Amino acid sequence: MGDLVHWIMETYGFPEGPDPDNPIPNPPSTTAPVQQTAQQASGGLVFKRGHFKDVEISSLTIYDDGIVVDTTSSTADGDLFAEDLLKSAADEFSLPYDPETVRKKMYLSELIVRSDLKLESLNPTLAAFAEKLSSIPVSGQSLSFGVGTVAFWSEPNDAGLHRAVKIERQLGRSLSEHRFYSEAPFQTDAHLGLLEEFEKLVIGA
């Protein structure tokens, strides 16, 4: 394992990673159970701030039963890195590798976008309620409220976890900036396409 850790850090330029002489997994995640995956609950070997070709790899985490790749670009780039990692490691350490070994891929795409959509236009009662909220002082101040989030949840899986698609105002930004944060359990291209479709549906309504 120590040889593998050293090779990964050297090959992909990770300045931060486990100690090759004592590769101990990070402690289990403290994320709320409803949000964390089984892998996050068990802890793993974490590498940070590497690169693959022209792509920044924010982090790579190796678990007993899988890997998690976080990039600043797209899920497609994450897939290419993961494939290169598995194939190259197999060649380097004379290990058998078969693409069929990868039994499941799970995605989480996070995007920040600009849009002129107004979530209040989904239903006139939302705008009316936001106006009612704005009429009530908060700690002696008058605040302007608007609809901040729209979310779609899947049915829970066997572990009681939901997959969610969220479209919400970006935290810390004025409503007039029209900046939105969105996450979805899809590949990046599909996520972007769905946001464009949602924008057309809302603005056109």
pLDDT in tens, 148-167: 999 999 999 898 999 999 99
Predicted TM-score of the model (pTM): 0.82
Q: CB within 8 A of 185, min separation 6: which ones?
A: 106, 107, 108, 109, 154, 163, 164, 165
Per residue in 192-203, pLDDT tens? 999 999 999 998
Q: Please, which residues have CB within 8 angstroms of residue 81's CB and are 6 or more apart in sequence? A: 12, 52, 55, 57, 69, 71
Q: What is the CA radius of gyration of the chain?
A: 21
pLDDT, residue 100, reads: 84
pLDDT of residue 57: 98
Distance CA 37, CA 159 (A): 9
Strand boundaries in the chain, DSSP class E: 45-52, 55-63, 66-71, 109-114, 149-153, 164-169, 179-184
Give the model's pLDDT for residue 126. 94
**The pLDDT of residue 98:** 85
Give 92-115 pLDDT, tens digit per residue.
Answer: 999 888 888 888 999 999 999 999
